[in-house]
Amino acid sequence: MARTLQNILSTVRHTQVSHVVLWCECAVLAVVFTMYMYFIASSVVQVILRQEIIVKINKQETMVNELEAQYFAHLDELRPEIAGEYGLVAIEPSAYVTVEASDRLGRRK
Burial of 23 per CB tally in 10 Å (0-12, 13-18, 19+): exposed
pLDDT in tens, 15-40: 777 888 889 999 999 999 999 999 99
* Domain annotation covers residue 106: no
Domain that holds residue 22: 2-85
Write the CA distances from 21 to 14, 24, 61, 82, integer angstroms: 10, 5, 59, 89
Domains of the chain: total: 1
Q: Is residue 33 part of a domain?
A: yes
Which range, 31-40, 81-90, 98-107, has the best average confidence (pLDDT)?
31-40
Q: Is the pLDDT of residue 85 over 70?
A: yes
Does the residue 70 lie in any domain? yes
The pTM of this model reads 0.49
Residue 98 lies inside a defined structural domain of this protein: no
Is 14 a domain residue?
A: yes
The answer to the question of residue 48 being in a domain is yes
Query: From CA 75, how far away is CA 65, in angstroms rounded?
Result: 15
Q: Do residues 71 and 63 lie in contact, with contact meaning Cβ atoms separated by under 8 Å?
A: no
Q: Is residue 45 part of a domain?
A: yes
